[in-house]
């Protein structure tokens, strides 16, 4: 489940989250911009979905959920993305 500090309500079983992903960065890091927006830097290149997979993994770890609870909805080929998080 999502830890208390992730900004999601227990009743809200699904929510959309906006991501800004920077591929081929020097380090992996994540910054929470708002309750529903994160900026993510990943070492992985933007090739064959590698940066997307890494970004979803970093987000899942930060939120304390399994990666399979996060689905990329929009922006597979763009730095700006929207993902769907299933809390339940």
Is 80 exceeded by the pLDDT of residue 2? no
- Provide the greatest CA pair distance for the chain: 38
pTM of the model: 0.84
Q: What is the mean pLDDT of residues 73-82?
A: 97
What span, in angstroms and rounded, lies between the C-alpha atoms of 22 and 19?
10
Residue 1 pLDDT class (50, 70, 90 cuts): very low
Q: Average pLDDT of 41-46? A: 97
* Domain boundaries, given as residue ranges, for the chain: 14-86
CATH number of 14-86: 3.30.1200.10
Residues in CB range of 36: below 8 A, 6 or more apart: 7, 15, 16, 17, 18
pLDDT score at 24: 97
Tokens of 83: 């993902």
Both ends of the chain: CA-CA distance in Å? 7
């Amino acid at each position: 489940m999502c830890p208390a500090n992730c900004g999601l309500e227990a009743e809200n079983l699904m929510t959309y989250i906006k991501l800004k992903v920077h591929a081929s960065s020097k380090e992996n890091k994540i910054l929470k911009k708002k309750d529903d927006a994160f900026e993510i830097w990943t070492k992985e290149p933007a090739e064959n979905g590698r940066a997307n997979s890494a970004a979803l993994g970093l987000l899942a770890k930060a939120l304390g959920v399994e990666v399979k609870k996060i689905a990329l909805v929009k922006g597979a080929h763009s730095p700006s993305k929207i993902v769907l998080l299933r809390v339940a």
